[in-house]
Structure 1
Amino acid sequence: MVKLTLVAAAVAASLTVLPAYGQDETTTEQELKMLLEQVEALKQRIVDLEKKIADKPAAQTQVSAQASEPSEDIAPRRQVKGQALAARVERLEEDVQEAKNDPIRIGGAVRTQYVWEDYNDPLKDRGGDFDFDLVRIDYSGQIGDVILSAQYRWFQYMDVVQHAWVGYNFTENWQGQLGVTKVPFGNTPYNSNSYFFSSNFYVGLEDDHDLGAKMRYRDENWDFDVAFFKSDELGGADSLASSKADRYAYDAVGVRLTGEGLYDTPVALAAETNSWALRGARKWTINDYSSAELGASLQWGDMNDGVDTVGDRTAWAVHGLYNYDQWTFMGQVTEYDYNLDLANQGLVVGAYAYYDTIPTKARLYSANIAYSMPVKIGPITNLTFYNDFSLMTDKRLYDEETLMNVLGVAVSAGGLYTYFDWVTARNQPFVGGSMSGEAKDTNTRFNINIGYYF
């Protein structure tokens, strides 16, 4: 009885500082941390009291028991109270365990943009334009052992799924993903620092997401990815999408036939199907200030018109990055090749509600440098200065190279993340050109993209 009384007293004393749980409100991370600490302290206090009781000589324990023995009408009440408190502790432990399994979290962004272009005379004359860019919603989290990650974007001219997959951690190192998931290729998460990505993005080889399954391996020294994609995120050439150009990242959608314009809607459909992707990278932590990564990527698969196979494709890349203190250096060499059965003038790709034409074979080079500088200027906490360079050469059927250089700075200020980009480019989409263009002169675009992320 003495033991029960002391334990009950310890529980009661500890519970006086606990917040009220079991109510219809969400536990915050701070409350969860406090709850964990208090439950652990309570457990330890009960153990200590039990040990003290066990260590007392038998005679002393008997005397103490006699001296403190409550009357018969009080003892049952204390016993019941002790049992109730113990049950409450057990419920608290269950609440803690449930709270560890985070619910689905919702975030997103709202972005707007200022644009000035030297190749657009009306825009240039009025000093540029300020326009709405997008609203996006992100979903992420875990229910039970199943992971969820999804993002949906609304633009002025389209709305799209950026990614949407479910996953499962098979071991500490292996994770599986199923759905619209990122194609493992090249430097990740991006082969760039700027708002404009690198030229790889515009041929479907940077930040692309397709419909399939992927296995990821991660440890201290190695990254491995193997993935199978049944189709692009819209379902391939025979999908029911209202427009095959309404998508976040570039994918092949057709064959450019002789006589068609570079931006025309394709007549002959062709889309990726039954594709495989492999990526591996070796990582080194050199010292407290520097790290490096060197890797290789490979893709291959078929092209289908919705009925039959009309060709195949391959792509490979070698890539690496080096971090030293606040500096980041990044490089990549990429080559792709589409072998099509139809006579053609290139491949039609679609994204952002318009079509473009890319050569069926080309090689791309990229070299980027960035410097991240922590600051305290009002709400501004970081400035990341960068220069991203891309070059596309050896184009099949086209002579003029594509190049893009982006000099810029990204500004972090609370939930605001803003890109200031000065872009100089030739034959580059969104900078007055096409990946299959034959221009000899460069264009310039000044771009400010302001995003509030939550």
Structure 2
Amino acid sequence: MPIVTKRIIAAAFAAGGLFAHPADAAEPAASALTVGGAIRFNYVHKSWQDDYPGGFVGLDTARLDLNYDDGTVIGSAQYRYNRFPKGQGGYWQHFLHHGWAGIRLADKSELHVGLDRNPFGLQPLASNNFYESIAFYAGLEDKYDLGVTYLSDPGPFEWQLAFYPRDGGSYGGGSNTAAASNRYSYNIVPDDDAQGYGTGQRDRERDTLVGRMAWHVGPGANYEIGVSGLTGAIDNGRGTRTRRHAVAVHAQGAVGPVKVMLEALRYRYGTAHGPTQTYAGLDPNSFVMLGAFGYPFPVASKGDIYLVNVSHDIPGRLGPLGGFRVYNDYSVLRKRSGAYKDSVQNVTGMSFSSGKWTFYADFMLGKHHPYLSPDGGGLAAASAAHDGFTRRINLQAGYYF
């Protein structure tokens, strides 16, 4: 069998979640395939959750990672299983986080095909903490879709271009989850009558084009400035397509142990909702339904997101612990549709590690946010009964192998 064929088969195993047959273990390409994973546990306390005054502890995630890289053929896949305790919904789900195969070209640029991260904004993440930023919940950070991604060769100037005909799809979950929202990435999804808002909205993302350019400047190319753009279709399930757009500018850099991340983005989700596709008397075209992790919630159809993150790496060790980083991540969503109040998220925390263990300790403060308040409006409408800031404490231990 030609060596190129063997490499492609091995890469397909990595991207598809399959294991190589033991008889292939002695072949040279097999050494490029690595298997790993993680299991993570959380302690969570929510200031608004009176029925759990002492918080709760539970499994967060168990996952399997497969990666392949023989220098030319590359691939990566990850599958996750979540089971959350009653204080966090009492549900389970599983989904493909990502899965792609590709090639590395002679100039070190890469071409990927499959479920891959959108090259939009700060990369790979626009945050330091475990819960990421408001951009994540608006579908504009750490987002994965199905299609083709090109990454230019590394250097002072880099660019990425991607086309995604479909989103990442939905997978499985308990009976108390919304079927269309059993996924990792926050996508525009059909609403759910039992586990959602019953709006009857049936939107889906289609034909998304994403482009990003970044310049590395300063001493040692230690600073990055960049611009990103996104455009795509929204299929409303009734034969009508509208458009969605987003643009972002970002900058990040480090001075010694201090790193700063900045991003400003504007998005617009065009809609074609009928007068009955709403809830609580809201303008049906002032919001869209985004879903992931088992449930959908409404997000303002137009808005601006700003984020400012500062982190400081602390050298040295404390017994078996090391890799200390303290940070403060701030993000805000200013809504430009409906008479909707701003959503705010601020996370002050620390991460550190010991061998294969990684730990997060996050203090989260925010309002009008689906993960930081009892606000039923997600990132769109806000209840007058919950206009103040609420708090969430998250302590996590994760074993990575």
TM-score (structure 2 length as normaliser): 0.82
Alpha-carbon separation, structure 1, partners of 2:194 and 2:390: 21
Post-superposition offset of 1:413: 1.1
2:200 counterpart of 1:267 = yes
Q: How many residues end up aligned between the 2 structures? A: 347
Is 1:435 matched up with 2:361?
A: no
Equivalence for 1:394: 335
Q: Is the 8 A contact 2:35 2:67 kept in 1?
A: yes
Residue 381 (structure 1) aligns with? 322
Equivalent residues of 1:326, 1:373 under 8 A apart: yes
In 2, distance between residues paired with 1:266 and 1:232? 21
Deviation string, structure 1 residues 243-263 (Cα, Å, up to 9, x no partner): 11100110001479xxx9994
2:108 is the alignment partner of 1:173: yes
- What is the distance in 1 between the residues matched to 2:310 and 2:94? 33
Counterpart Cα distance in 2 of 1:337 and 1:196? 24
Find the aligned partners of 2:42 and 2:370 in 1 and give their Cα distance: 17
- Mark the structure with the bigger radius of gyration: 1
Instruction: Tell me if structure 2 keeps the 8 A contact 1:395–1:401.
Output: no
Q: Equivalent residue for 1:134? A: 61
Query: 1:231–1:375: structure 2 CA closer, same or farther, 3 Å change rule?
Result: same
How far apart are residue 398 of structure 1 and its match?
Answer: 3.3
Look up the match of 1:116. Answer: 45
2:395 paired with 1:445:
no
Task: Please tell me whether residue 155 in structure 1 is matched to residue 86 in structure 2.
Answer: no
In the TM superposition, 1:182-221 aligns within 5 A as 182-221=117-156
> Partner of 1:244: helix, strand, or coil?
helix
The 1:208–1:266 alpha-carbon spacing in structure 2 relative to 1, beyond 3 Å, is: farther
Shift of the alpha carbon at 1:330?
0.4
Distance in structure 2 (CA, Å) of the matches to 1:393 and 1:268: 23
Structure 2 residue matching 1:269: 3-state secondary structure? coil
1:353-400: CA deviations, max 9, x gaps? Answer: 011100100000000000111222121121100000001113311331
How far does residue 135 in structure 1 lie from its aligned partner after superposition? 0.2
> In the alignment, what sits opposite 2:271?
340
Quick one: which amino acid aligns to residue 447 of structure 1?
N
User: What is aligned with 1:72?
Assistant: none
Structure 2: how far apart are the matches of 1:103 and 1:392? Answer: 43
Query: CA shift at 1:443, angstroms?
Result: 0.5
Query: Cα–Cα, structure 1 residues 299 and 255, in superposed 2: closer, same or farther, change >3 Å?
Result: farther
Higher relative contact order (CA 8 A, sep 6+): 2
Distance 1:342 1:307 in 2: 10
Contact 2:195–2:295 (8 Å) recurs in 1: no
Change (3 A) 1:143 1:292: closer
CA–CA separation in structure 1 for the residues paired with 2:178 and 2:372: 27
Q: CA deviation at 1:284?
A: 1.9
Closer, same or farther in 2 for the Cα pair 1:132/1:177, shift >3 Å? same
Instruction: Name the structure 2 match of 1:243.
Output: 179
What letter corresponds to residue 113 of structure 2 in structure 1?
L
Instruction: Tell me the distance in 2 between the aligned counterparts of 1:285 and 1:381.
Output: 29
Q: Quick one: percent identity of the two aligned structures?
A: 27
Q: CA deviation at 1:104?
A: 1.3
Letter in 2 for 1:182: R
| 1:355 match | 296
The answer on whether the counterparts of 1:404 and 1:426 sit within 8 Å (CA) in structure 2 is yes
Name the structure 2 match of 1:77. none
Q: How does 1:65-76 map to 2 (within 5 A)?
A: none
Question: Which residue number corresponds to residue 244 of structure 2?
Answer: 313
* 2: CA distance, partners of 1:442 / 1:280: 36
Q: Which residue of 2 aligns with 1:222?
A: 157
Aligned to 2:258: 327
Whether the 8 Å contact between 2:159 and 2:212 is mirrored in structure 1 is: yes
In the other structure, the counterpart of 2:345 is 404
| Structure 2 contact 350–361 (Cα < 8 Å) conserved | yes
- 1:170-229: per-residue Cα shift (whole Å, max 9, x none)? 222321000001111010000000011010000100000000001100322022100000
- Confirm or deny: 8 A CA contact 2:47 2:390 kept in the other structure: yes
CA distance in 2, matches of 1:429, 1:203: 11
Q: Deviations over 1:273-308 (max 9, x none)?
A: 111000010012514xx8100000000011113463
Q: Is the 8 A contact 2:271 2:288 kept in 1?
A: no
Report the CA distance between 1:100 and its aligned residue.
7.4
> Are the counterparts in 2 of residues 362 and 395 from structure 1 also a CA contact under 8 Å?
yes
Provide closer, same or farther for how the CA distance between residues 404 and 414 of structure 1 changes in structure 2, counting only shifts above 3 A: same
Match of 1:422 in 2: 363
1:146 paired residue among 63, 73, 81: 73
Q: Note if contact 2:182-2:292 (Cα within 8 Å) is conserved in structure 1.
A: yes
Q: Does 1:253 align with 2:189?
A: yes
